[in-house]
C-alpha cells in the first residue's frame, strides 16, 4: 500500500485529521493536505466534518451555559441561606431566653393549630418526647 493510499484510507475511512495522519506516517501535514484535496470525495467530506464540528461546538456551548446557570443558582441559594442564617443568629442572640412565638416558629413541625381556642398545642406523638421546658400550649391572638 502506498503512502497516498494510506493517507486516503486514514482520512476517509478512519476519519483522522491531517495532523494525526502526518504524525502517524511521519510526513508533513502539507503533503497530507495536498493528497486529500486531490480526491473527489474531499468537498463532501469537508462539509460533513464542518457540520459535525458545528454540532459538537453547539453541544459544548449548551453544556457550558447549563453549568454557568447551575453555578449562578447555587450562588443565589448560598446567598439566601446566608441571609436566613444571619436572621436566625440575630433572633437567637437577642437574649438568654426565647419567647414562645419564636420557639413555635423554629419548631413548627411539633405543633398543631386549634382554631376554636386559637392556640398551638404540641402534637400527640411529641407529648412524651419533649422536655419540660418546651411550651405545651401557645396562645395565638
Number of structural domains in the chain: 3
- For residues 77 and 90, state if they share a domain: yes
Domain containing residue 85: 44-96
* Domain edge (last residue) among 79, 96, 113: 96
Separation of alpha carbons 5 and 25, rounded Å:
12
Least confident of 3-12, 44-53, 111-120, 129-138: 129-138
pLDDT (tens digit per residue) in 38-80 = 989 999 999 999 999 999 999 999 999 999 999 999 899 888 8
Which three three-digit cell numbers place residue 117?
381556642
Q: How far apart are the first and last CA of the chain?
A: 95
Q: What percent of the chain has pLDDT over 70?
A: 96
- Regarding whether 91 and 48 lie in a shared domain, the answer is yes
In this structure, are 78 and 105 located in the same domain? no
Q: What is the helix (H) or strand (E) element at residue 33, kind and residue range?
A: helix 29-38
**Model confidence at 96: pLDDT above 70:** no
Tell me: pLDDT of 93 over 80: no
Give every CB contact of residue 137 below 8 A, 6+ residues apart in sequence. Answer: 119, 120, 121, 122
Amino acid at each position: 500500500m502506498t503512502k497516498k493510499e494510506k493517507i486516503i484510507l486514514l482520512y476517509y475511512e478512519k476519519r483522522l485529521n491531517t495532523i494525526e495522519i502526518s504524525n502517524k506516517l511521519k510526513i508533513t501535514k502539507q503533503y497530507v493536505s495536498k493528497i486529500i484535496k486531490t480526491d473527489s470525495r474531499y468537498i463532501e467530506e469537508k462539509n460533513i466534518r464542518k457540520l459535525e464540528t458545528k454540532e459538537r461546538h453547539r453541544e459544548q456551548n449548551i453544556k457550558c451555559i447549563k453549568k454557568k446557570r447551575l453555578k449562578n443558582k447555587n450562588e443565589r441559594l448560598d446567598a439566601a441561606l446566608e441571609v436566613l442564617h444571619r436572621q436566625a443568629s440575630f433572633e437567637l442572640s437577642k437574649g438568654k431566653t426565647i419567647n414562645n412565638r419564636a420557639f413555635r416558629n423554629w419548631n413548627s413541625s411539633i405543633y398543631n393549630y386549634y382554631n376554636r381556642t386559637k392556640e398551638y398545642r404540641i402534637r400527640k406523638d411529641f407529648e412524651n418526647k419533649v422536655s419540660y421546658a418546651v411550651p405545651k400550649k401557645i396562645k395565638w391572638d
